[in-house]
C-alpha cells in the first residue's frame, strides 16, 4: 500500500491536514455557532495512528531525513493517543473557559506534528526544526488564556528559557557538523565509530551542547527551572499535554541521537547523564513533597519521572531501551488523566488546583475521586498499575547493566514520592470540605476520556507483556 518517498510522512500529513481543517472551520464559523472542531482533530489523529500501524515493520524512509521505523512509529502511536485524550478532556474546558476553539485545536495539532517529526527525524537539523515547531505552538498554548497574567508570565519564562536551550542545541549541531561533516545521524555515527579511540574535545563539546538542549525539554536538573511556573500558569489540560507529549517526543529524539549517532562515546556521556538522573530524581521528589498546589506537585513529579527515564537511557541494554518506550506510554496515559481530573474540576474563575480544594471529593464526586486515586497510585509505582511495571523494568535494566546506585536511588525516591501522592488521596477520602471542586459537573466525553485512561493503566499494569514485546521489537530494529 505504501511505496513512495511520502510513506514515512503519512502520519504527520494526516495530523497536519486536521490542523489546517481546524483553522478553516474556525474561520468559516459564524458568531455564536457551535462547530465540533475537536472532532476534526480526533479524526486526523486516528488516521495518523492508523497510518503508523500500517507502516509497522516496513522501515519506510522519507527523503533521507525521516525514518518511519518501528521505534518512531511506536512513539507516534503514543503521541496520537496523547492527542486524542487531550482533545477529549479539552472539550469541556474550552466551552467553560471561552477559549478560541479553532486556535486551540490547530496549535495542539501542529505541536503534535512537530512531536512526530522529532520522534522520526534522522537528521539533527530536522530534529531542531521539529523542536521549534512543537515549542512555538506550546508557548502560545501556555498563554491561551489571554486575560490570565499568571499564564502570560509562565509563557514568557518558558519562551525565554526555551530560546536559550534552542541556541545550545543549535550550537551542538554546528559543532557536530564541524567535526563530522554531516548532520545525518547515520553518517555522524559512522564517523564517530572511527574516532572512538581518539580524544577530540570538539566531539565532547558537541555532546555537551546537545545534552543541554535535550535536558531542558525533558525538565532534567539543573535545566528544570521553567517547569513549575509553566505548569502552574498554563491551563491544566495544556499542562498535561506538555508534561506528556513534549517529554515523549524529546526522549525519543534523545534516545535516537545518543544511542545511535553518539553511542561510540557512551563512556563519556553516560556518567554525566547518570549524575543528572540522580539529581533529577532527588530534587523532583524532595521538592514535590513541599508543594500544596497540585499542578506544581505534579510538575516536580514530572521532573522526577524524567530522572527515571534517564536511568533507562544510561543502562542502554535491551531491557532498558524497551523500558523507556513502555514507561513513556504508561506515564503519558497516567499523567494526562491526572491533569485531566484537575482540568475538569476547575472553573472559569477558579482553577481548583490547591490541595484543600480536593477535601471531601469522595463524598460528592466519588467517581472522580476513584479515578484520581488510580492515577496517583500509578504515578507512585504501586501495583497493579502501569507505573509499577514501568518502574520495575527501568530499575531491572539498571541492575542488569551494573548501575546499582541508580536503581537504589530510584527505588528510594519512588518510596518518598508515594507520600505526596497519598496525601492527595487522604485529602479526598478523609478530610471534610465543601470546596468548589466537589460541586462541578463533568461532561460525558470527559468521563469517557478518564475511563479510557484508567482502563489503559490497568491493562498495562496487569497484562504488559504484549506492549513490552512491541517496545522491544521496535528498539531492536534501530539500536
Contact 162, 227 (CB under 8 A): no
C-alpha cell at 214: 535535550
pLDDT band for position 91 (cuts 50, 70, 90): confident
Chain segment 4-26, per-residue pLDDT in tens: 678 899 999 999 999 999 999 88
pLDDT band for position 28 (cuts 50, 70, 90): confident
pLDDT value, residue 479: 65
Contact 108, 86 (CB under 8 A): yes
pLDDT value, residue 297: 93
How far is Cα 234 from Cα 255, in angstroms, rounded to an integer?
28
Contact 56, 75 (CB under 8 A): no
User: Is 60 exceeded by the pLDDT of residue 130?
Assistant: yes
CA-closest candidate to residue 162, choices 119, 116, 212? 212
Predicted TM-score of the model (pTM): 0.95
- ∠ at Cα 465 (398, 73), nearest 5°? 85
Q: What's the mean pLDDT in 122-129?
A: 95
pLDDT value, residue 2: 47
How far is Cα 257 from Cα 277, in angstroms, rounded to an integer?
18
Q: Which of 164-178, 182-196, 267-281 has the lowest mean pLDDT?
A: 182-196
Element (H, E) at 46: helix 37-54
In the chain, domain spans: 7-476
pLDDT band for position 436 (cuts 50, 70, 90): very low
CA-closest candidate to residue 326, choices 280, 266, 388? 388
User: Is 90 exceeded by the pLDDT of residue 107?
Assistant: yes
H-type alpha helices, 266-358: 266-289, 294-315, 318-345
pLDDT value, residue 4: 62
Amino acid at each position: 500500500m505504501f511505496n513512495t518517498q511520502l510513506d514515512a510522512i503519512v502520519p504527520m500529513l494526516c495530523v497536519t491536514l486536521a490542523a489546517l481543517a481546524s483553522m478553516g472551520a474556525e474561520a468559516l464559523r459564524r458568531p455564536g455557532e457551535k462547530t465540533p472542531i475537536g472532532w476534526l482533530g480526533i479524526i486526523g489523529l486516528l488516521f495518523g495512528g492508523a497510518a503508523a500501524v500500517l507502516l509497522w515493520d516496513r522501515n519506510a524512509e522519507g527523503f533521507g531525513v525521516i525514518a518511519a521505523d518501528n521505534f518512531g512509529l511506536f512513539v507516534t502511536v503514543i503521541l496520537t493517543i496523547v492527542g486524542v485524550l487531550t482533545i477529549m478532556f479539552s472539550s469541556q474546558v474550552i466551552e467553560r473557559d471561552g477559549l478560541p476553539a479553532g486556535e486551540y485545536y490547530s496549535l495542539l495539532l501542529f505541536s503534535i506534528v512537530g512531536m512526530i517529526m522529532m520522534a522520526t527525524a534522522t537528521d539533527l537539523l530536522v530534529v531542531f526544526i521539529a523542536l521549534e515547531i512543537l515549542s512555538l505552538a506550546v508557548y502560545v498554548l501556555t498563554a491561551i488564556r489571554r486575560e490570565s497574567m499568571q499564564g502570560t508570565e509562565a509563557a514568557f519564562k518558558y519562551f525565554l528559557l526555551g530560546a536559550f536551550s534552542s541556541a545550545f542545541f543549535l550550537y551542538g549541531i554546528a559543532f557536530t557538523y564541524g567535526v563530522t561533516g554531516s548532520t545525518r545521524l547515520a553518517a555522524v555515527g559512522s564517523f564517530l565509530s572511527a574516532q572512538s579511540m581518539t580524544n577530540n574535545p570538539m566531539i565532547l563539546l558537541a555532546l555537551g551542547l546537545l545534552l543541554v538542549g535535550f535536558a531542558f525539554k525533558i525538565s532534567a536538573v539543573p535545566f528544570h527551572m521553567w517547569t513549575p511556573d509553566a505548569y502552574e500558569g498554563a491551563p491544566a489540560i495544556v499542562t498535561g499535554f506538555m508534561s506528556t507529549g513534549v517529554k515523549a517526543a524529546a526522549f525519543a529524539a534523545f534516545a535516537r541521537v545518543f544511542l545511535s549517532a553518539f553511542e561510540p562515546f557512551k563512556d563519556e556521556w553516560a556518567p554525566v547523564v547518570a549524575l543528572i538522573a540522580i539529581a533529577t530524581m532527588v530534587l523532583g521528589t524532595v521538592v514535590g513533597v513541599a508543594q500544596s498546589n497540585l499542578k506544581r506537585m505534579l510538575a516536580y513529579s514530572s521532573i522526577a519521572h524524567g530522572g527515571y527515564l534517564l536511568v533507562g537511557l544510561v543502562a542502554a541494554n535491551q531491557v532498558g531501551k524497551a523500558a523507556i518506550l513502555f514507561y513513556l506510554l504508561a506515564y503519558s496515559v497516567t499523567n494526562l488523566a491526572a491533569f485531566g481530573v484537575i482540568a475538569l474540576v476547575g472553573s472559569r474563575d477558579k482553577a481548583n488546583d490547591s490541595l484543600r480544594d480536593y477535601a471531601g471529593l469522595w463524598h460528592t464526586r466519588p467517581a472522580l475521586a476513584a479515578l484520581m486515586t488510580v492515577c496517583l497510585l500509578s504515578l507512585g509505582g504501586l501495583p497493579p498499575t502501569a507505573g509499577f511495571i514501568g518502574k520495575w523494568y527501568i530499575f531491572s535494566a539498571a541492575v542488569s547493566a551494573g548501575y546499582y546506585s541508580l536503581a537504589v536511588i530510584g527505588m528510594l525516591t519512588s518510596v518518598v514520592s508515594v507520600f505526596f501522592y497519598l496525601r492527595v488521596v487522604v485529602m479526598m477520602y478523609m478530610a471534610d470540605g465543601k470546596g468548589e471542586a466537589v460541586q462541578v459537573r463533568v461532561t460525558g466525553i470527559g468521563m469517557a476520556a478518564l475511563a479510557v485512561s484508567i482502563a489503559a493503566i490497568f491493562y498495562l499494569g496487569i497484562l504488559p507483556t504484549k506492549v513490552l514485546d512491541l517496545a522491544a521489537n521496535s528498539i531492536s530494529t534501530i539500536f
